[in-house]
A = this chain, B = another copy of it.
Amino acid sequence: MAISNIRYGEGVTQEVGMDLQNLGARKVCVMTDNNLGQLPPIKAVLDSLTKNGIHFQMYDNVRVEPTDYSFMDAITFAKKGEFDAYVAVGGGSVMDTCKAANLYASNPGSHFLDYVNAPIGKGKTVTVPVKPMIAVPTTTGTGSETTGVAIFDYKELKVKTGIASRAIKPLLGMIDPLHTLHMPERVVANSGFDVLCHALESYTALPYKMRSPCPSNPINRPAYQGSNPISDVWAIHALRIVAKYLKRAITDPEDREARASMHLASAFAGIGFGNAGVHLFHGMSYPISGLVKTYKAKDYNVDHSLVPHGLSVVVTSPAVFTFTAPMFPERHLEAAEILGADIRTARIKDAGFILADTLRKFLFDLDVDNGLTALGYSKADIPALVKGTLPQERVTKLAPRPQTEEELSTLFEASMQLY
């Protein structure tokens, strides 16, 4: 169980220049997306760098929901810059792009697919040192500041995949809740669903002792090890915060307590799932966002179609839990209770339905689109969605219940409409 360094507090971003000085950094790469480039979080970082005399170059071309092409563009920039430290200021899109840029710039001879998760890429172990990276998350969602994961949309295959290695975990995550005040409503909602799902999936993931294979040499064990007594603590804690604060954070931009709590919860859930893993919601979400047609995400200031990550993940959650609950019904029931269900008279065999119903109510209340249909999919897309899920075995095999192609089909079908 590896955990990350995080620093929390309003205004901690002002310290980033000192941290870089302490690291002895001489040439720093600052990454962001061009929407954020205009907003206060990036200003706070640049001010601190200037004040501490840190020489830097700025890359603000990160794509929201990055692709292999956008990763490569950032990698090219990083290679040219020969940086000795990185600062990512943004949501998961920025942090993930920065991790990839750092990794490949530190290994200039490597091919892009070398480190991409097998079976899509070669899933090579990272053996060369990468540069220190500081992550300044501006969404309340991915927890990417605490994980060794970088996700992108692989255009050729129309499927999301990623790179997973402890080596690309940021040295420090600076959680400055001041940055959450600028988030538009749907970014709060969707990134909050990501936290919800990280917590729910890591808590219901296959227990670490049941995972196979279990390589005898510790160095060969995967980053995602299955649920365990430590990740459970983080998952449950994050889930409680989501239950208490997500709605408040979405509906009231002035509710600093709620937004700050969600900001911390995203890191907590990140520490949990970064060790335990996620499973079916995430596995099935990758084709849902990869195959996007014309869906335009409200409040996302971008010019391409996209299904925001958190939305693509949460939309299958009721169907998936109805399917997985027979394996660890107590945990499913416990999750339902935390999310507000009255389980005093509940029967254990109804755990899946109860949790699914609780989630449906929760999502309806938070204005989530009515299922895959509302995201532009129809029954005819199911084979492609299933095909895109199959290579996600790194996560899908952590589901508490194994799935046939037919079962995956049924799960997508059951997710066409939520209410």
Binding site for B on A (CB under 8 A): 1-9, 15, 18-19, 22, 209, 216-219, 228-230, 233-234, 237, 264, 268
Contacts and interface: CB of A to CB of B under 8 A. Distances in A.
Given A233-B233, A233-B237, A268-B233, A218 B6 contact: no
A218 B2 contact: no
B1 A230 contact: no
A248 to B, nearest CB: 17
A27 to B, nearest CB: 20
Given A3-B5, A15-B218, A233-B233, 10 more contacts: A1-B7, A6-B230, A8-B228, A8-B230, A18-B218, A19-B219, A22-B219, A229-B264, A230-B264, A233-B268
A6 B1 contact: yes
A227 B34 CA distance: 37
B1 A2 contact: no
Contacts of A2: 5
A249 to B, nearest CB: 16
Contacts of A18: 216-219
Contacts of A264: 229-230
Contacts of A22: 217-219
Contacts of A15: 216-218
A24 to B, nearest CB: 11
A8 B1 contact: yes
Contacts of A228: 8
Contacts of A237: 233
18 contacts: A1-B5, A1-B6, A1-B7, A1-B8, A3-B3, A7-B218, A8-B228, A8-B230, A9-B209, A15-B216, A18-B216, A18-B217, A19-B218, A19-B219, A230-B264, A233-B233, A233-B234, A233-B237
A253 to B, nearest CB: 21
A99 to B, nearest CB: 19
Nearest to A237: B233
Nearest to A12: B218
Contacts of A209: 9
Contacts of A3: 3-5
Nearest to A9: B209
Nearest to A5: B2
A85 to B, nearest CB: 15
Nearest to A10: B209
Nearest to A174: B218
Contacts of A1: 5-8
A224 to B, nearest CB: 15
Contacts of A9: 209
Contacts of A19: 218-219
A37 B4 CA distance: 34
A104 to B, nearest CB: 24
Contacts of A219: 18-19, 22
B8 A229 contact: yes
Contacts of A229: 8, 264
Most chain B CB within 10 A, of A2, A18, A229, is at: A229
A159 to B, nearest CB: 32
Nearest to A228: B8
A337 B214 CA distance: 41
A178 B19 CA distance: 41
A49 to B, nearest CB: 15
A7 B228 CA distance: 10
Contacts of A234: 233
A274 to B, nearest CB: 12
A264 B8 CA distance: 26
A5 to B, nearest CB: 5
Most chain B CB within 10 A, of A1, A216, A234, is at: A1
A390 to B, nearest CB: 31
A112 B237 CA distance: 42
A230 to B, nearest CB: 7
